[in-house]
Structure 1
Amino acid sequence: MRVPLAVTTSARLNPQLLAQAEAASRRWGVPLFLRRHKRGITSWFDDRAEALLIFGHDGVTLWDREGHHGFHGGMAHLRRLRLAAGEPDIFVRVAELRKGDAVLDCTLGLAQDALVASLAVGPEGRVVGVEKSLPLCALAWEGLKTYELGPDSCRIEVVHADAYEYLRTLPARSFDVVSFDPMFARPRKAQPGFDVLRRFADHAPLTPEALQEGQRVARRWVVVKGAKYSDDLKKLGLTPEPGSRYTGVDWGRIGSSKEDRPG
């Protein structure tokens, strides 16, 4: 019987990689595979695991039968450079992120928006990312552990949980901003690695109940990403904020619950 996720190392094993793999196996409660077949890891997808988290000399990579993706900054790296240079970022603008803010990213994925938020709120701020998919959560957690954020950013806390259930455990107005980036119904052109994200991500749409919980938890805004030229935001009663005509996404936002707002 195949398990959803297992951990292994690159073929060139050394004590450091072995220690990392053993720690990850314990952390996520998944098997550790070490003995390679002559055919490599391919045969493991037949009967042992649906996905593998592989620790190598170049970092951590998530593999499945169809492909692989190593954790890296991706477009978030460029967005962070632009933000540091004083250029606008639509997520930061719509969320009105400020230094010292606490941000809850309810759909962490590959941590692209969380990486930008960590710079926007600075070292005195807080960013928590929630991811329901175990393979994606493990990839993000292990990758962020060694990602060089720099002194101008806060670290990103990663939580493996269903976002709606996690929101229900939080006190009212415990984060300044809550964000959602639900998986779009139709695939869109995206950076490398998005295919892996799509295969492992939770495809359930954002529900009004989860949005309401987000409003309860947020002190200022709940921001939601939707596909441009779709009714993703309209279904939730949100109006797209002004943005670039060259992007394939829109952002909408809604204020915190009225009964929970200060004043």
Structure 2
Amino acid sequence: MQPVPLAVTTSSKADEAQREEARAVAARWGLPWMSRKPKEGIAPWLGIKAQALLVVGDDGVTLWAPGGSFGFHAGMAHLRRMRLAAGEPDTFVRVAELRAGDAVLDCTLGLAQDALVASLAVGPSGRVVGVEKSVALCAVAAEGLRHFERGPDSCAIEVHHADAHAYLKGLPSASFDVVFFDPMFGKPKKAQAAFEVLRLFAEHAPLTAQALEEARRVARRWVVVKGARYSDDLRKLGIAPEPTSRFSDVTWGRVAALAPVP
């Protein structure tokens, strides 16, 4: 019997409430649910019962694969949000010119780090929508955001499991103020094991000129793209990098909407 690509289970010390929550997670994402016995290990399941597992426990939903595991956490987004709330600049907010009430579409949600910053920048009157092609990453992010205490100064983040290009095609023109892409870097530097596991599930296809044009149609002001300083991905798309710190490994670029709306 072939292992299923992705399934949902609980921690080894789950109570009935956690088992019910795990069944609900499985139902929300259309994934099989696997009952786990007390103290039964995860490792023997991987590659046998499932290629990867979403584990519901006290710490939320964690994605387990043969190479390791990771879960949702605000991480650097928490620090960026604190600095933004204190009046300090944020590169994403500056390049995108985000302001209260804006609607932002994040086409590469990942673990929602930039979306969390955007949700504070646009405030409770704004809107942030995140699209993620990987069901595993989408589930981890969405389930994590369900329990994230965003506070009264941020809007909720809507999460959709979809291909970004296809999702853009289905949107009306000028329906978001800013459209954002953060494609997975093609030449990663040495990273922690958890990030290497994340890379296994992330979408690695580069941003195409066709998707960029759809984004320009959907945007009212800007399409913002994040890239790696050591790559020429932005220039291949005709996007000039914005000035950033020479110590940063990340570069940012933006292109105007096809029909900018004041």
TM, length-normalised to structure 1: 0.95
What is the deviation of 1:188?
Answer: 2.7
The answer on 1:141 being equivalent to 2:180 is no
State the distance in 2 between where 1:189 and 1:150 align: 34
Q: CA deviation at 1:39?
A: 5.8
Give the gaps of 5 or more residues in structure 1.
Answer: none
For structure 2, the residue ranges without an aligned partner over 5 or more in a row are none
SS at match of 2:200: helix
CA distance in 1, matches of 2:45, 2:193: 24
Asked if 1:40 is matched to 2:41, the reply is yes
Runs of 4+ in 1 over 2 A off after TM superposition: 35-39, 188-194, 260-263
Q: Does residue 163 of structure 1 match 2:171? A: no
Change (3 A) 1:242 1:66: same
Cα-to-partner distance string for 1:76-118 (whole Å, 9 max, x where unaligned) = 1100011001000000000000000000000000110001000
Letter in 1 for 2:209: P
CA contact (8 A) 1:62 1:70 kept: yes
Inter-CA distance 94–108: structure 2 relative to 1 (3 Å threshold): same
Residues 177-211 of structure 1: per-residue CA shift (max 9 Å, x gap): 00000011101356774223211101000000000
Partners of 1:21 and 1:55 within 8 A in 2:
yes
Aligned 1:176-191 pairs, distance under 5 A:
176-188=177-189
Change (3 A) 1:92 1:193: farther
Map Cα deviations across residues 102-153 of structure 1 (whole Å, 9 max, x no partner): 0000000011000100000001100000000010000001110001111110
Alignment correspondent of 2:64: 63
Structure 1 letter corresponding to 2:27? R
Q: Which amino acid aligns with 2:121?
A: A
CA contact (8 A) 1:53 1:61 kept: yes
- CA shift for structure 1 position 12: 1.0
Q: Which amino acid aligns with 1:121?
A: V
How many residues of Structure 1 are paired with residues of Structure 2 in the alignment?
261
Percent of counterpart pairs with the same letter? 66
- Inter-CA distance 206–66: structure 2 relative to 1 (3 Å threshold): same
Report the counterpart of residue 127 of structure 1 in structure 2.
Answer: 128
Kindly report which structure 2 residues correspond to 1:1-263, keeping only aligned pairs within 5 A, or say none.
Answer: 1-36=2-37, 40-188=41-189, 193-257=194-258, 260-262=259-261
What RMSD, in angstroms, separates the aligned Cα atoms of the two structures?
1.5
- 1:44/1:191 CA distance change after superposition, 3 Å: closer
Moved more, 195-204 or 160-169: 195-204
SS at 1:173 equivalent: coil
Q: Give the C-alpha shift of residue 35 in structure 1.
A: 2.8
SS at match of 1:198: helix
C-alpha spacing 1:180/1:190, structure 2 compared with 1 (3 Å): farther
Partners of 1:21 and 1:38 lie apart in 2 by 17
Paired residue type of 1:194:
F
Rounded Cα–Cα distance in structure 1 between residues aligned with 2:190 and 2:46 = 27
